[in-house]
Structure 1
Amino acid sequence: MSSVLVLGGTSWVGGEVARTAVARGHEVTCLARGESGDPPDGVRWVRADRDDPRAYDEVRGRDWDQVIDVSRQPGQVRSAVDVLGPTTGHWTLVSTGSVYADQSGPLTEDSPVLEPLDGDVAGPDQYGEGKVACEQAVRRLGRHLIVRAGLIGGRGDRSDRLGHYVARFALADDGPVLVPGVADQPMQVIDVRDLAAWIVAAAESGTTGTVHGVGEATTVGELVALSAAVAGFAGEQVVADESWLRERGVEEWMGPRSLPLWLPRSHHGMGLMDDTRALAHGLERRSLSETIDATLADERERGLGRERRAGLSREDELELIAQLQA
């Protein structure tokens, strides 16, 4: 049994990491504020705000076998490394493919990254720069692993990105559904369960370096088609051109009034992240259909017609379809 400290653990990815570590027999502690919920059963919860200088008082001075950090804030990562780094055997930082300076084409772990954020707090538009700064802090340690994750999907996804299409197909019955005209856009989705299992296993084995944590290569068209099949959708898919959508204020990728997973060509590299190194380090992935199936079950539990963080409302979608077909 190893001692595992998850810095986070009450939100989505951190919670799945903590749940997986418990299932694998580790003694798990989560340090988090708890604003996103409670940690999984079987863990010790240290409630703390990492912006508070005293945040690590209850966990400092102990020899941790593994620390796994999901933070996006450089100040939090720097302070954790300073306090806990000297007594930690292996450190994992969950980073992102958004660190790359040029995301227009295929990406390897050696592709150039953005300039790191100088400050301690990264705003929403500084996500990539903030994560680069987090990576820099962790590289001061000897045994560290940086996992640059791509798009993550599955049960519990609070971004509502992957779930938009399968939930809309299930809600629409035989009615029309609007999809972006980007069928050939590259896409990769990794199930949160597979990512968490690999992160914990890699920490157990002492894996070091920088590695992509990504799903198998696919396209938006294949993902949308699979979402329709999982939902049993037999209605019409109404395809809208990118320029037509932009003219009507429909956003790309995520957020309110968006068509999720649609990316400009300048960011197609987010679906072209090389997985060679990850597979060599033991990453195992379930089929995308399994992930979408789990996502639909989660969407049904949360309510297909609920207000979403990503995607169009059904009313807005039908109005846009009416304009397109007029």
Structure 2
Amino acid sequence: MVDVLILGGTGWLGSRVAERWLDRGARVTCLARGHRPAPDGAHLVAADRTAPGAYDAVADREWDEVVDVSSDAASVASAVAALAAHTRHWTYVSTISVYADVDGAGDDESAPVRGPGADGESDYAQEKAAAEALVRTAIGHRGAVVRPGLIAGPGDPTDRFGYWVSRFALAGEDPVLVPDTTDKGVAVIDVDDLADFIVALGDARWTGVVNAVGDPHTLDEVLTQAREVAGHTGDVVTASDQWLAEQSVAHWAGPRSLPLSLPPQHRGVWSRSNTAYKILGGRLRPLRATLERTLDAERKAGLDRDRVAGMTREEEISLLSAIE
């Protein structure tokens, strides 16, 4: 039987990876803080990865596969130190945010990545880049680094992708505020397609670095399909980037934002090469299918629920009144 250790495994992507390994008949252990349960069939080891001896309970056996999704380089370093000698294959899930050039349209995995921050401080992308380097150095020919782009689908804790299809559904016959979509795009990978790919690489013990990103779509296409899936029949009111900035509306993510909208010079975020992903057998389900799956989940969660990205309907209505 294949023994798999997932460092995490109780969050959004990690739990999907655990479930896929369980579907293959693997024996799965999840090492996490224990704030959430492990998937049915997986064994949970509760541990704080920042504490001494965090891996003591799992370092006394051999692992066929270790999967790590951490964005904390220090936690990755301690895991590698404790477990590298006991692991046949290691998969580190990174991000395309590690690339140094945000305008790298069409760039593949050979593009330069970001270096460390000044004065020892680092952001999310720099932490991921440092963690990649640790894994590639310590694990070498036994390691895979997967760089996803925007992950979408049911259960997304960032609320970015789900905002639009849920907002169009909530608005119904009433207007919806959207950003100017000129020269903007989006590339999404469904969380379940990504989980399948991560497990397939681990099962094959593939080594190397690969972007796991969707095909590029214009932002207009994404909004149009989201509107169709939601059955929205009201007006679509477009606001310029300048006007939105003047109203303190952010782009991409976070509170009081219009998610997924990025300045045109960030085209590398939605147009990285996915050639290697496809060659390796990675699947990309249609955008509409992911939108439909997401809307089902959004309806169950409540279309008018509090969100971590986007705007409340009240904020949106206020802006619509102002722009008219």
Decide: shared fold, TM above 0.5. yes
Task: Note the residue ranges of structure 1 that are not aligned, 5 or more in a row.
Answer: none
Q: How does 1:1-326 map to 2 (within 5 A)?
A: 1-35=1-35, 37-106=36-105, 107-116=107-116, 126-140=123-137, 141-142=139-140, 143-325=142-324
Does structure 2 conserve the Cα–Cα contact (< 8 Å) formed by 1:49 and 1:55?
Answer: yes
User: 1:34, CA displacement in angstroms?
Assistant: 2.7
- CA displacement, residues 76-122 of structure 1 (integer Å, 9 cap, x when unaligned): 00000011001101100000011111111313111111113599985
The amino acid that maps onto 2:2 is: S
TM-score (norm 2): 0.96
1:25 deviates by: 1.3
- 4+ long deviations beyond 4 Å: 117-122
Give the Cα–Cα distance (whole angstroms) in 1 for the partners of residues 292 and 76 of structure 2: 35
Report the alpha carbon displacement of residue 183 of structure 1 after superposing the two structures with TM: 4.7
SS of 1:29 mapped into structure 2: strand
Secondary structure (helix, strand or coil) at the match of 1:301 reads helix
- TM-score of the superposition, structure 1-length normalised? 0.96
SS across alignment from 1:305: coil
Separation in structure 1 between the aligned mates of residue 202 and residue 13 of structure 2, nearest angstrom: 16
Compared CA separation, residues 121 and 23, structure 1 to 2 (3 A): farther
User: Which AA in structure 1 matches 2:16?
Assistant: E
Amino acid at match of 1:177: V
Q: 1:181 to 1:105 in 2, by over 3 A?
A: same
How far off is 1:287 after superposition?
Answer: 1.0
Distance (Å, rounded) in 1 between the aligned partners of 2:116 and 2:145:
15
CA RMSD of aligned residues (A): 1.4
| Offset at residue 255 of structure 1 (A) | 0.3
State the secondary structure of the residue aligned to 1:139: helix
Distance across 1 between alignment mates of 2:292 and 2:131: 34
**Whole-Å Cα distance in 1 between the matches of residues 252 and 24 of structure 2?**
35
Question: The residue matched to 1:146 in structure 2 has which SS?
Answer: strand
- Answer yes or no: is the 8 Å Cα contact 1:2–1:27 preserved in 2: yes
In the alignment, structure 2 segments of 5+ residues that lack a partner are: none
